[in-house]
Chains A and B, each alone.
Chain A
Amino acid sequence: MKQPSLQMTDAQRSSTIAAVFCITLGVIYCIMTSLLPQAAVGMPNAPKVFPYALGFSLTGLGIGLLIQQILSIRQNSPKTEVKEKSETVTVDYHTKQILLTVANGVLYALLFKKLGYVLSTTLFLGLELFLFNGKGKWKVVLAVSVIFSLFIYILFNKLLGVYLPMMPVVGF
């Protein structure tokens, strides 16, 4: 969403993106609704009515939000300060941390059943603590992740009867 001719504040930019997202999601949702199979019992289109209403509403609300934002951007005085550069740097770092956390979570999901709870969690938590703390505190990172995984495993499996996946071969 780059509109170099218009100056947008951070809030306006994120709202505009949200509006475009809503319109897109609304339209896709409507198309997907139209592709749903018909009901074998009762009114054939009954399962589609409610989703259609939702899809149209979201598209409408998205258009409403977009108009709102366009109007407010127009009202903006040209003097509004937009601190583009400094903010991009911090946002980028922030986004990177979030993306790494998500990637770590996906890795966790992939390894969870294969490695068992204790190992996969030690790895996941260790990486996450590393992401928060950096290299310096590796002893704390290691201690916290091992103790947490073992504590939760024993608490859940032995005391609470919620069974978490065991490690292969070792059976723990």
Chain B
Amino acid sequence: MVNKGYHQLFIFLVLTLLLSGCWDEIELEDRAFVSGIGIDLVESQGQNNIFELTDQLVVPAGLGSPTELSGEKAYRNLTQRGDSLFEINAKISKQANRVLNPDHLEVIIFSKEVVEKENLVADLLDAFLRHQNMRRGVLLAIAEGKAKDLLYVETEHAKLPAQYLSELLVNREIPETIEPIRIGDVHEKILNNRSFILPELAVYADNSVNYQGIAIFQGVSKKLVDTITGDEAKGLNFIRGENQEGSITADVEGKKTTFSVLEGGSKIKLTNKDKNNLSFQVDIEATVQIAEYFGEIDFYKKENKAKFDKALKDKLTKAAEDAVKKVKDELQVDVFKFDEYLRMHHYKLWEVIKEDWDHGENYFANSDLNINVKATVREPGNTIRIKQDGGGK
């Protein structure tokens, strides 16, 4: 009996050693979570590029508790140079006293210089898509200046610059911004040689970053071709039928009026199927509320309301046409999602033209585009007027 007891004890000891998996044990305190990554180009000679990679590591002590922010810095940025991202990361770990862990990576920022090089953005994304601890939900953005600088912007609301940036990318109040773009979305676009867009950020002040505009990438060369801002960006969003909530300013009888969009949407229709004379009809719909008005017309009168509708319609049409002029005629890159529409609804035609869609023959640039806007002012807001006609007399 005694002997059997020893046996069991022995087996128990061996099992505790084997099953605890101590080979991979890393305590939470020994991990350094990377929350943001910035990639800059230092030097470029032909095929050889030297990059500068900045890892933003979280310093948990600096974060404090949600109710009680601590005064210390919540991050530590480490930067190294090299020609492969994975290798630079390995170099960074020489500086770090903890094991780098990308599990909670929130945002990757490329500087404009990097993405202006052909194919480079696709090559650099490889490391992020290949590594098993990376998630496909990581947000992507472009920095107008150096990507590194964005990771040093501290704000009062968020102690972690990377957290600030990712929240900024998700927060969409105006139609000049786009829905947050994740690394997985870009992977699909790159695989199919389709054009895509990314948000562009820039340092605005010491404690803020500004959403600069929408960076447009050509699908075949996979490089940045241009950034569009302002009304062109709004037009792009109205044609894409995405992120239409926000404001639009138009003139009604010479007085500035700002509309806030309640609902909106767009519909694409192919009206001519001949591949050399493709013709699209885009129906844009918007329902708005008046947010700000400098004039004094009574919009409870029918003919006056029509004036607002008309002004809004003209403004939207103009924005959309500006976007078309820029994107289709000048850049000749399809980011209006017509490619998606054709693949979904005219698959046979798409199979024929997809290789030459927005490069080569460029069926996209040669197509005709008809924009049709339907705009309705649904609500005037809380007050009808705040000043009377000729009130100054």
Verify that A and B bind, or say they do not: no
Interface on B for A, CB 8 Å cutoff? Answer: none
